[in-house]
Amino acid sequence: MDIDFSLVLVSLVAFCGALWILDNVLIKKTRLAAIEDFMRTKGKGRSEEEVTAAITELSQEPLVIEYAKSFFPVLVIVLILRSFLIEPFQIPTGSMIPTLEVGDFILVNKYAYGVRLPVIGTKIIDVANPDRGEVMVFIPPHENKYYIKRVIGLPGDTVRYEDKDLYINGELISKEYVEPISVDTSIGDLPGVLYSETINGVEHATQHIDAVGRRRARTTWVIPNGHYFMMGDNRDNSSDSREWGPVPQKDIVGKAIAVWLHKEPGLSLPTFARNQRIN
């Protein structure tokens, strides 16, 4: 089960903040009243050390209040950074190979496409719109979890993908042959080809299986207003808009900007060997 960390963070901030307010409004007054009562009835005749020790004990905050006050500012900072600036994200599948590998940890720019409220995702400040060729994190129409793909079609575009060729508004997107490769699939390794593709000035690698690959009944899509057509760079091994349709603008999460860490599955140690900008 995927964990909604934004919801968890908002809940923790609200909980800690509520305890802090509750302490200032109500509980703290109880401690002060207890100190006043002690000084009035029991403090007389005691040594200074005894009085100081008693006051220290009576003024002690409950442990849960102490923790709440300690964690609240830290959680607020983390929430602001993660919700409005930069969010870490781990690549779970191979749909973006060769650009992104399984086990890559990436940074997602949360304000590149507008500032949105955490959890509910409502845009409150416009910044820019996604452009063709950019790599974007989003929530797909069919599943409530983060996906990452490349922006292929903008609102109003006509996208056609047929015989492993990509057309945008009738124009063939050029790709240059790089080398033969082996493509990992659910049925084992298959021979394939690595290409260098350029979309809107963004040069990136894509890979294709030599065989026919996955057949799709539909080859042409007209992108409606407020939607974006997404495809994986692992063209024959990617669940994307070719299957479940374009992504609504309201479900955009952010722009993927860099790989900062990589960890192979299993007990292997993380490495920084794949640190790079994402094109």
Q: Using alpha carbons only, what angle is made at residue 208 by residues 202 and 211, rounded to the nearest 5 degrees?
A: 160
Buried b (16+ CB within 10 A) or exposed e, 210-248: eeebeeeeeeebebeeebbbbbbbbbbbbbbbbeebbbe
> Cα 37 from chain centroid?
53
Q: Strand pairing of 147-153 and 276-277? A: unpaired
Q: Are 51 and 35 in contact (CB under 8 A)?
A: no
**Residue 8, both tokens:** 């968890």
Q: Which of 95, 110, 175, 255 is catalytic?
A: 95
95 is catalytic: yes
- What pLDDT does 1 receive? 40
User: What is the residue extent of each domain of the chain?
Assistant: 5-84, 91-277
How far apart are alpha carbons 77 and 82 in whole angstroms? 9
- What pLDDT does 157 receive? 98
Please name every residue paired with 180 in a beta bridge, in sequence order, or none if there are none. Answer: 193
Cβ partners under 8 Å of residue 18, min gap 6? none
- What pLDDT does 215 receive? 62
| 10-residue averages of pLDDT along the chain (279 residues) | 72 92 87 80 73 79 89 89 87 94 95 86 87 96 94 98 94 95 87 96 94 72 97 95 96 95 87 92
Q: Which of 110, 149, 175, 255 is catalytic?
A: 149
Nearest partner of 231 among 69, 74, 221, judged by Cα = 221
How far apart are alpha carbons 242 and 234 in whole angstroms? 13
**H-helix segments, the chain:** 5-22, 28-41, 48-58, 63-80, 241-244
How far apart are alpha carbons 196 and 95 in whole angstroms? 16
User: How many angstroms separate the Cα of 43 from the Cα of each of 39, 53, 74, 93?
Assistant: 4, 11, 39, 68
CATH superfamily for 91-277 is Umud Fragment, subunit A (2.10.109.10)
**Residue 139, both tokens:** 């929530």
Instruction: Give helix then strand counts, H and E, for the chain.
Output: 5, 17
